[in-house]
Structure 1
Amino acid sequence: MPPPTGTLVHELSQNWLGKADIAVQTVLLAIGFVAVSLRLWSRRLLGVSWQGNDYLIVAAMIFMVGRYTVELALILLCGMGLHAAEVASVGGPDLFVQFDQLTYAGDLLWITIVALIQLSILHYYLGRFPRQIIIWASYVTMGLCTALWIASTFATAFFCTPPKKVWLSDMDGHCGNRKMLHLGTSVTEVVLDGVILLLPSPAIRDLVLSRARKVALGCIYALGIGIIAVSAVRIKVEFDLDPEDPTYGSARKSLLTSIVPLLGIITACLPVLSPSVQRTFGTSVFSSTTDGISTSPISPSWKSTLLSKSHMEEPEIPLVTVTMPPMAKKLSELAHGQIKITSDWEIHSARNSARLERDSIRRG
């Protein structure tokens, strides 16, 4: 048996699960960076400062980079994706201690990232859907997400007493049931994700959208459903892990675990990208009040938005109405359809009955 070499970087060519994990996470992380960048650019195009949901999604992206680094270390240094016997023969038993330490850190980061994404989406709902029932439901759900975040963090951090026993199994102390902890946390996350996905449905159902916006909305919901499906599969994989071969089984779980927050970041950014997409591709097919902020230029008309249960319309009410005096109107009728230009005119304000005549303006 060859002596341990300390790391398993040279074994990456044989680590197919590890390479697949790195490839998928790298691609999704790059897409996430693009989505967050376009989101912040959209805020700049709209001329508005960052909102609370923007800060939350940026924080989630920063923590996601940290978790991506942990995943690389697990694969390259600890051989995640290889069988435990091969890892032990190459790196020795001390490598499993490092593996457990990195897994412990990755679990804590994952809990934080998911909570930040959920809170970002719910905070966006508060400004986008100003219905009382949605606002109250969003606040309640935010409270539940925060409570789950705190409870899951403490339960994971102090899963063993003392915490070092997580990676030092020979140390005196005791640990809880890992599978039950992950089951409770994961099932609750899936339920909350479903609630967040369905929460704005009453407001969305009452809107009349163009075909392009319906397609975009359908894609957002499809991604949301996909995240819930991946989370459900992750629960199944968690229960199928072989405790005698942790490095091999953890690779599949790690891949699914990383997909959930990365898709969550992308999904959270999609509703805000309309201005940047319009500027990039030169199309206005998706332009609308996607973020609750009008992107149309200022015009000499006052637009009032009327919301009803069945549709939304924006009638234009002109500020000024120009009409011809009775004498000019009669002359125009006598001209048999020809245009008659006179020097007399009147202006009536749409907001009151004040009358401005040419002679009064000249006298002023």
Structure 2
Amino acid sequence: MPSSGTLVHSLGHNWLGKADIAVQTIFLAVSLVAVGLRLWSRRLQLSSLQLSDWFIVLATFAVLGLYVVEITKVLLTGLGLHSPEVARVGGNDIFVQFSELTYCGDLLWIIAVTLIQLSILLYYVREFGQRLVVWSAYALMGLCTALGFAGVFATAFFCTPPKKLWLSDTPGHCGDRDELQTSVNASEVILSFFVLVLPIYFAWRRAFSQARRAALVCIIALGLGIVALIASRMKYDSKLMPSDATYGSTRKSLLSCLVPILGITVACLPTLPPVIQRIFGTSIFSSTSSMSGLRPEAAKHWKTTVLTGRRLEEPEMPLVTVTQPMMAKMGHLSPGHIHITSDWEIHSSRGSTRIERSPVRQV
């Protein structure tokens, strides 16, 4: 077979490569739709983008870069084909390009996973007001950030200089690759598990509808599946054969891309109830911020701060208490019958807790 410099023409019998492209394309499309719906949900809530949203947007760009790297590895370096065929078609220089692309993909994977974890933890801080959740989330954010920087640094400078990773004749030295990959994957498995289970107890105690509880179970199950994918990635990485890297690393590459892609989808799902209500006209997935979604005993009370809207840990107080003035009893109103016929509005701004109400008319 004549050398063409590329392996695009070999895609016809590269079944692993085609499966890799197809699976990643489908799940990436789903995650992009989820991100778009998340941004639309913020707009429906008349809310500006929060830091957790920006982290998801940045993670999406990192995942898109990882997707481009994987497509390039399949089309130009023969990912999914056995190394002897790759060398026969494209020459030994193909393996240099393959190592360079793998290097870039590993860096993008760590960055994407770290951004997704930080986005989820920031959502916990805003959504849950319990002190235990907030401080635990901040602690995990510190660990995720530290692990992210350590993983990027260790991967980027695994070899000194870095180009020795793909040019073995370059003077320098490299570390233990198996030890690096095992430590990174094991740390991500542990941290991702704790990020997932952190708010389960507090979320389950909320007065959710049955549909929302079912959705919560599905999200948790999907998150546990992602943790299992990270563990499987570690397993395939340990079985990688350097003599046949283009074929043996195909499954690892597929799992590597699926982890952040599914992670973005999971991170976006809890923010979608406003969009679901807008599209399907149903509020069964609405959060407890809707009075209609509360149980009868919980609907009598509502706890919130004027400025931040976060739920308090103090005992719940009634939303409003109306008492009949003594002068009203002496007037034309019947005792015990007070009708408020105009709406109340609460206006707040930074540094001010003034509460205003529209005029009240008594009938």
Q: Give the TM-score category using the shorter length.
A: 0.7 to 0.9
Task: Name 1:39's counterpart in structure 2.
Answer: 38
Distance 1:202 1:171, change over 3 A: same
Task: Name 2:229's counterpart in structure 1.
Answer: 230
Distance 1:258 1:357, change over 3 A: closer
After superposing on structure 2, the runs of 4+ consecutive aligned residues of structure 1 that deviate more than 4 Å are 293-296, 306-309, 312-316, 318-330, 345-349
Residues 227 and 263, structure 1, Cα contact 8 Å, conserved in 2:
yes
Deviations 1:53-99 (A, max 9, x none): 00000000011111100110000000000000000000000011000
Please state whether the residue corresponding to 2:126 is helix, strand or coil: helix
Instruction: Map residues 1-364 of structure 1 onto 2, 5 A cutoff.
Output: 2-289=1-288, 304-305=302-303, 317=320
Q: In 2, Cα distance between the equivalents of 1:156 and 1:348?
A: 66
Distance 1:173 1:327, change over 3 A: closer
Structure 1 vs Structure 2 CA RMSD? 3.1
Task: Name 2:349's counterpart in structure 1.
Answer: none
Please state whether the residue corresponding to 1:112 is helix, strand or coil: helix
Cα drift, residue 232 of structure 1: 1.0
Partner AA of 2:16 in structure 1: L
Cα drift, residue 308 of structure 1: 10
Residues 121 and 268, structure 1, Cα contact 8 Å, conserved in 2:
yes
Distance 1:88 1:278, change over 3 A: same
Q: In 1, Cα distance between the equivalents of 2:59 and 2:274?
A: 23
Residues 81 and 248, structure 1, Cα contact 8 Å, conserved in 2:
yes
Residues 234 and 257, structure 1, Cα contact 8 Å, conserved in 2:
yes
Please state whether the residue corresponding to 2:55 is helix, strand or coil: helix
Structure richer in strand, relative to its length: 1
Residues 15 and 82, structure 1, Cα contact 8 Å, conserved in 2:
yes
Structure 2 unpaired stretches of 5+: 293-299, 305-310, 342-359
Cα drift, residue 316 of structure 1: 5.8
TM-score normalized with structure 2 length: 0.83
Residues 340 and 361, structure 2, Cα contact 8 Å, conserved in 1:
no
Partner AA of 1:230 in structure 2: L
How much identity, in percent, do the aligned residues show?
Answer: 52
Cα drift, residue 3 of structure 1: 3.2
Partner AA of 1:304 in structure 2: W
Q: In 1, Cα distance between the equivalents of 2:150 and 2:163?
A: 19
The alignment covers a number of residue pairs equal to 330
Partner AA of 1:78 in structure 2: T
User: Which has more radius of gyration?
Assistant: 1
Cα drift, residue 319 of structure 1: 5.8
Task: Name 1:338's counterpart in structure 2.
Answer: none
Distance 1:160 1:308, change over 3 A: closer
Q: In 2, Cα distance between the equivalents of 1:329 and 1:133?
A: 49
Residues 20 and 254, structure 2, Cα contact 8 Å, conserved in 1:
yes
Please state whether the residue corresponding to 1:77 is helix, strand or coil: helix
Structure 1 unpaired stretches of 5+: 297-301, 331-344, 350-355
Q: In 2, Cα distance between the equivalents of 1:357 and 1:159?
A: 74
Distance 1:318 1:239, change over 3 A: same
Distance 1:174 1:214, change over 3 A: same
Distance 1:346 1:318, change over 3 A: closer
TM-score normalized with structure 1 length: 0.83
Deviations 1:101-155 (A, max 9, x none): 0110010000100000000000111111111111111111000000001111110
Cα drift, residue 233 of structure 1: 1.1
